[in-house]
Amino acid sequence: MSVSQIDVTGPSARVADRAGRGRRTRRGREARWPAYVFLTPWMVGAVAVTLVPMAVSLYLSFTSYDMFSAPHWVGLRNYTEMLTDDPRFWRSVLTTLKYVVIAVPLKLALALGAALLLKRLSSRGRGFYRSAFYAPSLLGASMSIALVFRALFNDGGTVDRVLGTFGIHIGSWVGNPHLATYVVVLLTVWQFGAPMVIFLAGLQQISPELYEAAALDGAGPWRQFVSVTVPMLSPVVFFNLVLEMIQSFQVFTPAFVVSGGNGGPADSTLFYTLYLYERGFTASHMGYASAMAWLMLLAIAAVTAVMFKVSRSWVFYADEAE
Amino acid sequence: MNLTLRRRLPHAVALLALIALLYPLLWLLVTSVKPADEVVTSVDLWPRHFEWSNYGTALDGVSGVSVPRLLGNSLLISLGAVVGNVASCSLAAYAFARLRFRMRGPMFAFTVATLMLPQHVVLIPQYIIFNKLGMTNTYWPLVLPKFLAVEAFFVFLIVQFMRNLPRDLEEAARIDGCGPFRSFFHIILPLSRPALITTAIFSFIWSWNDFFAQMIYLFSPDKATITLALRNFVDQSSTSAYGPMFAMSVISVLPIVLFFLVFQRYLVQGMATSGLKS
């Protein structure tokens, strides 16, 4: 996976670095050890909090382990059981995929629409709405807001009553296996402010000259949007897409609250992380849960890799296009 | 006419969107002061009768642990996270942004890659380790890792910021015999204040909102945070306790709202820069 694409070192920074290096070699080598002093906490963290636990969980994924007796090696059994003999596992995969595929595009579309809208406001109005639209992104992950959404979509909740006045009687969304996931989707979409802020910053970086040139060539607003805004914004769209996708796979708190903590009703909100938690911490099948975690990592890596691959055909990097 | 409409339309749409967006928050506030019978029978946004005692009931807390105590527990964890992240991430970021050393590229690439790492892959071994160390049901598992610069997002954010600081000041300081340590503390750190404030606020809010890790590590009621208590409160009460439950919810989101109102400029700015140039 090409991490270099996310590397923040732009071409200009790289040139500056090279110039700096030239100057320094002329003046003699600078001591390198201070860097490692600054990096000590980071290195301890990388090893003890990330790398070693990763290795341990990979090992545990090939064992049966209940936290009380020593783990014992079972080879690929966790994986084969998961893939061939666990309908709840597949249920959780499908629920999560459905959620990601619906929530992420919806959230990003709304974010882009809002950014385009705010760009047309005066700078004072823009500042105000930018902050106001962003606020839900900070609150959305909290237990409180998850409880509010559950209550709003419950039997006799606001949504039920409002729909009722239009003659639509659905009752509780939270208790309905066909609709419960959408409460989590809506809670996610409600937080479109975070990607919107990134879109808006991206829009503001597009040089007005490009629009002027397009207008001179006789391009109307729609043509300008398609030929200037879309290609210039495509790296930001891609960044948001990858980021939101990775985050959505890991959604937990709203799923936990809406489902009442157990994936209900009828396992319809049994999100992947929820099932992982249940197998690992409620049922003490730590080996199985580790295998689930590694499968999730592989899935996210694979999806990200495919997205990077496909991105070459639609993402436009201005500084590479000369 | 056409012109004023075209100018006003975006404002009108934005205003409508804002009202829809804020509705759940408004609902939360109103429900927190509604008496039990009104919660079930009416969706009016204005209660006919204000039931302030909901807050009294909420303040009594859960399982004999009062709300001030629960807030204190949450505050302790969040402040620990703030101090840890700001200290450790700024140290690492300085090395990545301004110093030259072997393996810099791969090490930074590793940090960026961990942005994509799902927490669950390291969660179980971390739990086992902290359990072996006898640290479950303490705040150490929630705070200690923050002192080891493991939150890649913040390292990334501060690196971005430090890279854009002018090099002249350090060059001048170096000629005056100022080493990397004094450069860091006296020049770079003070100049990086905006990035550090952004890091501090996000650390606080994320830690405050966290539920998964707290649920796994903390199990005795007196160690519980406000988030955990809220969840237990839900389990213990029926819909008739909606009022007190949402009064407690209001109390639990209040610090985030206050932080947002005071620091919104840093938050929005930090979010915007983190996404650009990437």
Q: Which amino acid is at A263?
A: G
Note whether A158 contacts B91, CB cutoff 8 Å: no
Residues in CB range of B92: below 8 A, 6 or more apart: A38, A39, A41, A42, B111, B149, B155
> Which chain B residue has its CA at the smallest distance from A50's CA?
B122
Calpha distance B26→B41 (Å, rounded) = 18
State the CB neighbour count (10 A cutoff) for residue A35.
Answer: 21
3-state secondary structure at position B177: coil
Note whether B155 contacts A36, CB cutoff 8 Å: no
- Which of A148, A240, A273 is opposite residue B275, by nearest beta carbon? A240
**pLDDT tens readout for residues B146-167:** 999 999 999 999 998 899 888 8
Interface probe with B: pick from A6, A8, A63, most Cβ of B within 10 Å: A8
Note whether A138 contacts B11, CB cutoff 8 Å: no
Which candidate, A132, A142, A121, A126, places its Cα nearest to that of A187? A142
- What superfamily would CATH give domain A76-321? MetI-like (1.10.3720.10)
Q: What is the mean pLDDT of residues B41-50?
A: 72
| pLDDT at position A170 | 83
Q: Which residues in chain B are contacts of A250 at CB distance < 8 A?
A: 118-120
| pLDDT at position A13 | 44
**Alpha carbon of B21: minimum distance to chain A alpha carbons (Å):** 7
Instruction: Please give the C-alpha separations between residue B244 and each of B22, B53, B54, in angstroms, as whole numbers.
Output: 21, 8, 4
| pLDDT at position A232 | 92
3-state secondary structure at position B57: helix
Note whether A197 contacts B245, CB cutoff 8 Å: no
Q: Which amino acid is at B148?
A: L
- ipTM higher than the 0.85 cut: yes
H-only helix segments in chain B: 2-31, 36-41, 53-59, 67-98, 104-114, 120-132, 140-143, 152-163, 168-175, 180-182, 189-191, 193-209, 212-217, 226-236, 242-275
Please give the structure tokens belonging to residue B149: 């610069």
Calpha distance A40→A52 (Å, rounded) = 16
Q: Which residues in chain A are contacts of B30 at CB distance < 8 A?
A: none
Percent of chain B with pLDDT over 70: 93
> Which chain A residue has its CA at the smallest distance from B120's CA?
A293
Chain B window 116-175: which residues touch A at a Cβ cutoff of 8 Å? Answer: 116-126, 128-129, 131, 145, 147-150, 155-156, 159-160, 163, 167
Calpha distance B98→B159 (Å, rounded) = 9
Interface probe with B: pick from A15, A29, A42, A154, most Cβ of B within 10 Å: A42
Please give the structure tokens belonging to residue B231: 């969840």
> Which chain A residue has its CA at the smallest distance from B239's CA?
A151
Calpha distance B194→B162 (Å, rounded) = 11
**Alpha carbon of B103: minimum distance to chain A alpha carbons (Å):** 11
Residue A302 scores a pLDDT above 90: yes
Note whether B113 contacts A190, CB cutoff 8 Å: no
Please give the structure tokens belonging to residue B107: 């090490």
**pLDDT tens readout for residues B79-133:** 999 999 999 999 999 999 999 888 999 999 999 999 889 999 999 999 999 999 9
pTM of the complete model = 0.88
Beta bridge partners of A73: A63
Residue A23 scores a pLDDT above 50: no
**Alpha carbon of A43: minimum distance to chain B alpha carbons (Å):** 8
Note whether B275 contacts A236, CB cutoff 8 Å: yes
* Residue-averaged pLDDT of chain B: 87
Instruction: For CA atoms B85, B86, B91, B92, give the dihedral sign.
Output: positive
State the CB neighbour count (10 A cutoff) for residue B194.
Answer: 14
> Which chain A residue has its CA at the smallest distance from B183's CA?
A34
Are B139 and B253 in contact, with CB atoms under 8 Å apart? Answer: no
Calpha distance A316→A241 (Å, rounded) = 15
Q: What is the mean pLDDT of residues A266-287?
A: 93
Q: Which residues in chain B are contacts of A134 at CB distance < 8 A?
A: 264, 267-268, 271
Note whether A290 contacts B124, CB cutoff 8 Å: yes
**pLDDT tens readout for residues B202-225:** 999 999 999 999 999 999 989 999
Q: Which residues in chain B are contacts of A111 at CB distance < 8 A?
A: none
Domain positions in chain A: 76-321
Residue A18 scores a pLDDT above 70: no
Strands A72-73 and A63-64: antiparallel
| pLDDT at position A19 | 44
Q: Which residues in chain A are contacts of B25 at CB distance < 8 A?
A: 139, 148
Please give the structure tokens belonging to residue A172: 């509780």
Find the helix packing angle between A286-314 and A230-249, rounded to 10°.
170
Top pLDDT among B196 and A13 is at B196
Q: Which amino acid is at B260?
A: F
Note whether B99 contacts A38, CB cutoff 8 Å: yes
Q: Is B149 left (phi over 0), alpha (psi -120 to 50) or beta?
A: left
Note whether B24 contacts A149, CB cutoff 8 Å: yes
Note whether A4 contacts B113, CB cutoff 8 Å: no
Domains of chain B by range and CATH?
Answer: 28-274 (1.10.3720.10)
**pLDDT tens readout for residues A199-249:** 999 998 898 999 999 999 998 889 999 999 999 999 999 999 999 999 999
Interface A-B, measured as beta-carbon pairs within 8 A, has a size of: 270
- Which of B14, B150, B181 is opposite residue A121, by nearest beta carbon? B14
Angle (CA) B261-B267-B272 rounded to 5° is: 140
Q: Which helix (H) or strand (E) holds B186?
A: none
**pLDDT tens readout for residues A286-299:** 999 999 999 999 99
End-to-end, the C-alpha distance of chain B in Å comes to: 43
Q: Is B103 left (phi over 0), alpha (psi -120 to 50) or beta?
A: left
Map chain A to HEC letters: CCHHHCCCCCHHHHHHHHHHHHHHHHHCCCCCHHHHHHHHHHHHHHHHHHHHHHHHHHHHCCEECCCCCCCEECCCHHHHHHHHHCHHHHHHHHHHHHHHHHHHHHHHHHHHHHHHHHHCCCHHHHHHHHHHHHHHHHHCCCHHHHHHHHHHCCCCCHHHHHHHHCCCCCCCCCCCCCCHHHHHHHHHHCCCHHHHHHHHHHHHHCCHHHHHHHHHCCCCHHHHHHHHHHHHHHHHHHHHHHHHHHHHHCCCHHHHHHCCCCCCCCCCCCCHHHHHHHHHHHCCCHHHHHHHHHHHHHHHHHHHHHHHHHHHHHCCCHHHCC
**Alpha carbon of B196: minimum distance to chain A alpha carbons (Å):** 16
Q: Which residues in chain A are contacts of B252 at CB distance < 8 A?
A: 142-144
pLDDT grade for A270, boundaries at 50, 70 and 90: very high
Note whether B272 contacts A13, CB cutoff 8 Å: no
Beta bridge partners of A40: none
